[in-house]
Chains A and B, each alone.
Chain A
Amino acid sequence: KAGVTQTPRYLIKTRGQQVTLSCSPISGHRSVSWYQQTPGQGLQFLFEYFSETQRNKGNFPGRFSGRQFSNSRSEMNVSTLELGDSALYLCASSLAYPDTQYFGPGTRLTVL
């Protein structure tokens, strides 16, 4: 079974731009969660989608948004990028019962 895939793997953007990251969950998994990982803050929850609905949201500004499609693929968008948005963005998927999450390789975003 293929694992969680994320595209692109690396991104370099400048301040003020926007970015869209994509995540394809493991086949059959309906829950997709997004996390931001930085050296200072560790892994922090961004949001979770289940059956195209946002089920939970972390403490991030409104510049961070996401969506999920009917095939469970998910995208997250960050608008008006700031230097502090530089991070590894990880996507994780799970079956309906959400606890055991399987992570993708992440997208490394660098904001210059």
Chain B
Amino acid sequence: EDKVVQSPLSLVVHEGDTVTLNCSYEVTNFRSLLWYKQEKKAPTFLFMLTSSGIEKKSGRLSSILDKKELFSILNITATQTGDSAVYLCAVPHGSSNTGKLIFGQGTTLQVKP
């Protein structure tokens, strides 16, 4: 059964800190791994990763995938209070080429001033 596990489940840091969020997965026929940020309502798309070792960056956020060890990390440098959110990791269901995403439990990040 396809599975996504995120750690830690929650994290409290202070502004300026760097954080690393983890996502491990087990899925048949891996295609991609996605990261989303959810503040109040809609999850907002951050990154889609398909290849090992290639870092994707957007401002202070970056992410990398390790297909051999079956995990991904999301790094946030110089955190700001606006980074406070739930960060979700997801993989497409492996056995069918359809829009079924399997989500992890999420990591709740709180950035204190």
Contacts and interface: CB of A to CB of B under 8 A. Distances in A.
B48 A100 contact: yes
Interface string A24-58: 00000001110100000011110010100001101
Q: For the side of the interface on B, what is the size category?
A: 20 to 34
A19 B44 CA distance: 26
A99 B44 contact: no
Interface string B41-57: 11111001000000000
Give chain A's interface secondary structure class: strand
B43 A103 contact: yes
A48 B99 contact: yes
Q: For the side of the interface on A, what is the size category?
A: 20 to 34
A57 to B, nearest CB: 9
A105 B102 contact: no
Nearest to B6: A42
A98 B99 contact: yes
Nearest to B106: A42
Nearest to A48: B99
Interface stretch (B15-23, B72-80, B90-98): B90-98
Contact of A98 (B42, B43, B97, B104): B97
25 contacts: A32-B99, A33-B100, A42-B106, A44-B103, A45-B93, A45-B102, A48-B98, A48-B99, A50-B98, A50-B99, A55-B96, A56-B98, A56-B100, A94-B99, A98-B97, A98-B98, A98-B99, A99-B31, A99-B48, A101-B34, A102-B45, A103-B43, A103-B45, A105-B41, A105-B42
The 7 tightest CB contacts between A and B, nearest first, are A98-B99, A56-B98, A43-B103, A48-B99, A103-B42, A33-B99, A55-B98
